[in-house]
Structure 1
Amino acid sequence: MIEIKKNGSTIQSLQIGIGIIDVIVNNGKPMKFAEIQEKTKMTKSNLYKYMNTLTQLDLLIRESSTGLYHLGPKLIQYGTTAIGKQDVVEQITPYLQTISQQTKCSVLFAVGTTNGPVIAKIWSPDQILNIGAQIGTLLPPNSSSGKIFNVFYNNHITENWRVAAEPSMTDEDKEFHKIKEEKIAFAKEPLITSISSVSLPILSYSEELVGIIAVVGFTPDIPSAIGDETSQYLLKMQQTISKTFGYTNP
């Protein structure tokens, strides 16, 4: 139940709205409407009005496929401004788990460095799969994550990385522009025979690269084109995750 401090100089409806956000924050993971109602003890009609308002203000977002409510991009912007940083890996981990469960493949999260994309987190399904990489591994330019880094990371840094690694793709290539437009990259067996990958950029409200999510598995299980059903699912997840960092698709 939300605690209301009655005071002639305060607004109770604002306390309730912040209280709803606190319920989701304290839960530690996204929640469904029924779960929020159980915690707040509010009527469905009253809670709906608050949830609708908070969603319209981008203080919360609702994932249409699951009905789960997440903290919204406005809160991310406020928090980033207030503390100057985020624990991105911790925030991204639940999504890695969801994608892994859906695709039955290993899922990586890589962050950009001056030397290229480096794996910061790995989430694997029950089966053990040698993906040819571990936490701390620097991913090469010909990997799908390397391609995403090449396209979306800071141009000056990327240029140095291109020269050092001598990758084949430049901003004059059709693949470069295709990846920039579609926001998905594919790579067939870049590290190990029979193991392929598909990667997506996670973008912030300022359209900077927060990190890269890569799905890795046996080649027949990994999509190789944007029209594939799995590719479409991943693109929806890319939009959902990027939105939590304030990104709005132009």
Structure 2
Amino acid sequence: MTVKSAERVIDILDLLKDVREGMTLKEIADSLSLPQSSTFHLLNTMESKGFLIVTERRSYKLGPKLIQIGTKAIETLDINSEAQPYLRRLMEKVEETVFMAVLIEQELVYVAKVDNPRSVLTSAQIGMRKPIYCTGLGKAFLAFLPESMKDRILANVDMHAVTEKTITSRLSLNNQLSLFRQQGYAVDDEENESGLYCLASPVFNASGEMVAAISVSGPKNRVYSRQAEIVEELTKTALQISERAGFTKGG
């Protein structure tokens, strides 16, 4: 059983989502074969609640309330649980530790870890926060976030040496990030943990915004010698997770 007024509200929203300049009361009523009187009351109610706005030419357009609802809907898409089968499959193919992290208030936070039986012990654990400038996951964010956001984050970061290989020069890091952006993945070459080599790739949402990063980590001699093979599987998995979140490549 459906409620007719609710159906009409949905039909109106669905109609207006594809008409950027908006539509008049008559245009909406005619398009949906509805009486103008009842359509007028529906539109007025939707406008009063912020679901629609009215332009100077009395056209109705989608309103700001829908942005809030859409944002909440995106947030409820649990990228972690959606990614789990893909992360496990990646681990099985590359036989190394696989991680996923998100950015929370400009800090890198690990949200998933899938160990392989031959995995080496690393300090990174789920829930842990790590430096953004010297981890593969962090560098993936810095490389693929908008330039202004990257600069804002780095302005508040103290780039101290974590290992003897940590890059502490802002200029050197920016040059490296440009390369990562071109090649589609980031690299941490023993910069956060000695002996550990990490490859990381970005995950995007339906709006094309970077929402997470995934990585493959292991002993340098093992990962470096198989880098081309691992990168292929890593970037393919990142794209699959992105598509699961609504991302369309080239869209």
Question: What's the TM-score, normalizing by structure 1?
Answer: 0.60
How far 1:83 sits from its partner (Å)? 3.2
CA RMSD across the alignment? 2.7
How far 1:170 sits from its partner (Å)? 5.6
Question: Within the alignment, does 1:88 sit opposite 2:79 as a pair?
Answer: yes
Runs of 4+ in 1 over 4 A off after TM superposition: 79-82, 154-157, 169-172
Summarize the Cα distance change of 1:81–1:164 in structure 2 as closer, same or farther, 3 Å threshold: closer
In 2, Cα distance between the equivalents of 1:173 and 1:198? 17
Give the match for residue 146 of structure 1: 138
Give the match for residue 243 of structure 1: 243
Give the match for residue 98 of structure 1: 89
In 2, Cα distance between the equivalents of 1:222 and 1:132? 18
Alignment of 1:1-250 (within 5 A): 83-85=73-75, 86-127=77-118, 129-140=120-131, 141-153=133-145, 155-167=147-159, 168-169=169-170, 173-223=174-224, 228-250=228-250
Summarize the Cα distance change of 1:196–1:93 in structure 2 as closer, same or farther, 3 Å threshold: same
In 2, Cα distance between the equivalents of 1:247 and 1:178? 23
| Structure 2 stretches lacking a partner, 5+ long | 1-68, 160-168
Seq. identity, %: 21
Q: Give 1:211's aligned amino acid.
A: A
Q: Give 1:160's aligned amino acid.
A: R
Summarize the Cα distance change of 1:82–1:121 in structure 2 as closer, same or farther, 3 Å threshold: closer
Q: CA-to-partner distance for each residue in 1:80-130, whole Å, 9 max, x for gaps?
A: 678343111101111111111111111111001223221011110124521
Length, aligned pairs only: 171
In 2, Cα distance between the equivalents of 1:244 and 1:214? 18
How far 1:221 sits from its partner (Å)? 2.1
In 2, Cα distance between the equivalents of 1:186 and 1:225? 14
Larger deviation, residues 177-186 vs 216-225 = 216-225
In 2, Cα distance between the equivalents of 1:188 and 1:139? 15
In 1, Cα distance between the equivalents of 2:241 and 2:191? 26
Larger Rg: 2
Summarize the Cα distance change of 1:81–1:134 in structure 2 as closer, same or farther, 3 Å threshold: closer
Give the match for residue 39 of structure 1: none
Question: What's the TM-score, normalizing by structure 2?
Answer: 0.60
